[in-house]
Amino acid sequence: MKYYALFFFLCTGFGKIAMAQDSSLLNMLEDSMMVNKQGGHVTGTFKATHIINTHSVETPAKGVLLFMIMHRFGKINEGAYEFFGLDNATMRMGFDYGLTDELTVGIGRSTFQKTYDGYLKGKLLRQSEGPGGRIPLSVTALAGIAYTSLRYTDKPYLNARYRTNYTLQLLVARKLNRNLSIQLSPAYLHYNLVPTVADKNDVFVLGIGGRMKITKRSSINVEYNYLPDNQVNSFKVYNSFSAGFDIETGGHVFQVHVTNSQGMVEPLFLGRTTGSWGKGDIYFGFNISRAFNLAKKR
């Protein structure tokens, strides 16, 4: 009987494996797939490299050159004579290049204060796929420099050092579900020159932003950058708030929005936003980006 028991055990044990193979080859494959499954990264947390003004956690892939035009018209409250701001415009033209899938170098030129900017942007962490993912967040770091080249005839002493400002920003995002993504963006800014001694050279800003997809290819985006008090005192500054709409068509992303910030580089919109939503200092604008594949083969 002992042998019989052993034998029976063997047969039924093996028999079960055999049946699994019998009933469906597919089940066997699926089991094998489960065993060998490797966790992937979440993709498409945001459609573009910017939420609106603030950088998003996204960077272009390796070998991709991203050409971006950011455009802001004048203030809506300028009235009918200025065609509600549409007669005036500032723009920033920029190029981002993906050195690797994680690291991007970018340059840009804004008409606003004739500002040049450059930055490095690197993905530090990427959110894992699936509900039980190991990494819950995507984290990207941004290090930028901005140089204002506008000449002031009354301030001939403004040399290169005085004209340069720095940005360090951490972009921390989570794609909560296929439609909703949220990003926290704490930033540290350093202004080499500030208007008066009452103003701080080092300024901290906490940004929050997000996107909500409304169709597969469009989303509503919002961002708010909170500038704590007692950092900029010699003139009235406001927190930058922007809201807009993204439309994606193949290699292009169109972003249309309204914002109270005229500048499109961190030192200009995070710490120097003088427009007030309450007074109607609202700029209508858009960003257009186009991806070009320079690398032949991935």
Partner 1 sequence: MDSGRSEAGLETGCRLQDKLQVAGCRVSIPDEGRESTNQSANQPIMKKSVLLIACCGLIISAASAQVYITRTGVINFFSKTPMEDIKAENNQVYAAIDLSKKTIAFSMLMKSFLFRKELMQEHFNENYVESDRHPKSTFKGTFTGDVDPQKPGVYNVQAQGVLTLHGVEKSVNTPATIEITGDGLTGTARFNLLPQDFDIEIPGIVRDKIAKQIDVQVKIDCKPVK
Q: Site residues (CB under 8 A) for partner 1?
A: 1, 3-4, 6-8, 10-12, 14-19, 21-22, 24-26, 28-30, 32-33, 36, 40, 43-44, 60-62, 64, 101, 178, 216-217, 248-251, 291, 293, 297-298
The answer to whether 67 touches 292, Cβ cutoff 8 Å, is yes
Which lies closer to partner 1 via its Cβ, residue 22 or residue 87? 22
Q: How far is the CB of 37 from partner 1 (least distance, A)?
A: 8
Which lies closer to partner 1 via its Cβ, residue 42 or residue 237? 42
Q: How far is the CB of 297 from partner 1 (least distance, A)?
A: 7
Q: Which long-range contacts (CB under 8 A, 24 or more apart) does 193-201 make?
A: 193/158, 193/162, 193/163, 194/234, 195/234, 195/235, 196/233, 196/234, 198/233, 198/234, 199/231, 199/232, 199/233, 199/234, 200/230, 200/231, 200/232
Q: How far is the CB of 137 from partner 1 (least distance, A)?
A: 18
Which lies closer to partner 1 via its Cβ, residue 243 or residue 294? 294
Q: How far is the CB of 249 from partner 1 (least distance, A)?
A: 5
The answer to whether 57 touches 139, Cβ cutoff 8 Å, is yes
Which lies closer to partner 1 via its Cβ, residue 242 or residue 287? 287
Which lies closer to partner 1 via its Cβ, residue 23 or residue 159? 23
Q: How far is the CB of 131 from partner 1 (least distance, A)?
A: 11
Which lies closer to partner 1 via its Cβ, residue 43 or residue 201? 43
Residues comprising the chain, all counted? 298
For 65, 234, 240, 257, the CA distances from 93, given in Å and listed in that order, are 13, 30, 21, 17
Q: How far is the CB of 30 from partner 1 (least distance, A)?
A: 6
92's enclosing H/E stretch is strand 89-98
- Counting beta carbons within 10 angstroms of the beta carbon of residue 57, is it exposed (0 to 12), middle (13 to 18) or buried (19 or more)? buried
Report the C-alpha dihedral over residues 232, 227, 68, 160, rounded to 10 degrees.
30
The answer to whether 143 touches 298, Cβ cutoff 8 Å, is no
Q: How far is the CB of 289 from partner 1 (least distance, A)?
A: 11
Which lies closer to partner 1 via its Cβ, residue 82 or residue 101? 101
Q: Could you count the other beta carbons within 10 Å of the beta carbon of residue 243?
A: 13
